[in-house]
Structure 1
Amino acid sequence: MKLLLTSAGVKNTSIHDALLGLLGRPVADCDALCIPTAMYGHPQAGPGDEAWRFIAGRSAEPMVELGWKSVGVLELTALPTIDPELWVPKLRDADVLLVSGGDALYLNHWMRESGVADLLPSFTETVYVGMSAGSMVMSPRIGQFFVEWTPPSGDDAALGVVDFSIFPHVDHPMLPYNTMAAAEKWAAGIGGPAYAIDDDTAIVVADRAVEVVSEGTWKLLGG
């Protein structure tokens, strides 16, 4: 799987160009599935209008609205209750997965419960585009700074697809606690490499290589 791990979607030309490089063809030629599940577990998002804006492509974080050939919705909480034959082929046929922000541990829980986490390693050509929690879920752990919803395990472990953690939304005007100083303190407790990134930054992972694409601010911490 090829990863584009963003803080706030495809916010600028550099991130958009990185997406095109991963896809290998125009956005208009690609079929997408959007995954809104993370929103439901976060107190500042939740079910309702924020989830609708993401799915409808009317959010401030460009993902669904980029001009895909088609866009479907994959709701992870529903998958354990339906026949895998109804959804696994759709997941395999998608060129790109668009995974919203929200609560990373809630998303991690349903990635595992739904069986999607087990399938991800087999999607070698699929492009995964994460936004905020959708990016953080690919890390080994998110750190206590970001724990809102408490999973049954009681810890802050995520999927561990990559070997670094992510502190998104650095210096966001609506998130006064997401400072670089806070990121440095957070990273000290992570126990591994970590990136602090703002909304104009993304991390590209392809063929085991990691590249930061940015028109903003970022810093590699820890490790």
Structure 2
Amino acid sequence: MLRTHLIVQTARDRGYAKVMMGESLTRVAIKLLTNLSLGRGAFLAVDTGFTDQRHGDVMVVRPMRDYTAKEIAFYNHFFSIPTVIVPPLFTKHREKPSIHQLVERFLLGLQEEFPSTISTVYRTGEKLSPEPAKASSESQRCLLCLCGLDTDGEEELALEPTLILEEPAAGVESKAAYIPLLCYSCRLTFKELGPLDTLPPYVRAEGQRRIRRAEMEHDQENQESSKS
């Protein structure tokens, strides 16, 4: 998600209204199962759809999502199109470095035995609706992924283990204050995040604005209750 923020912000700085991503059908199918594993089931249609307009002034499109990685590779080979291959980053645990690579190996392994596996996963994702990702107001959007918050009501009970309970040192901004501004999946990502300085400046500024607004509303409610 932070990578997407970086790309969108670069597009804003250069005055671009659209960003084309190179995700193939194979990558979209892998992303579908990966995001489902990471608790982003409600936002699959937005994360993998042809158009993504949640960033407002910059639209993200995926024009290559109807072509498999093999088809794209053959096309580049036959038409002598230069290809840049960036090797992935590996951790010390080579067998299971991440959920993404674990899902990728699982799907590609099934694809060898059952050639319709990836296309079936892709077609299933095509039937999903983007409605669950929409928010009724700006304050109901996740601070990181900009989708509607999925943490209301009874779901809060299941989210209790994801909360960050550390007390901040004097003069240090609290990470726990940002938790209510995030959806379930982004809370899990946020727990693994380092200092708040690693957030994009505009994301952090928006978070601080929402936190101050929530504090003002809370103080106002306390004053009204004390008067009554």
- Whichever of the two has the greater Rg, that structure is 2
Structure showing greater relative contact order (alpha-carbon pairs closer than 8 Å, 6 or more residues apart): 1
What TM-score results when the alignment is normalised by the length of structure 1? 0.32
**Greater share of helix residues, 1 or 2?**
2
**Greater share of strand residues, 1 or 2?**
1
What TM-score results when the alignment is normalised by the length of structure 2? 0.31
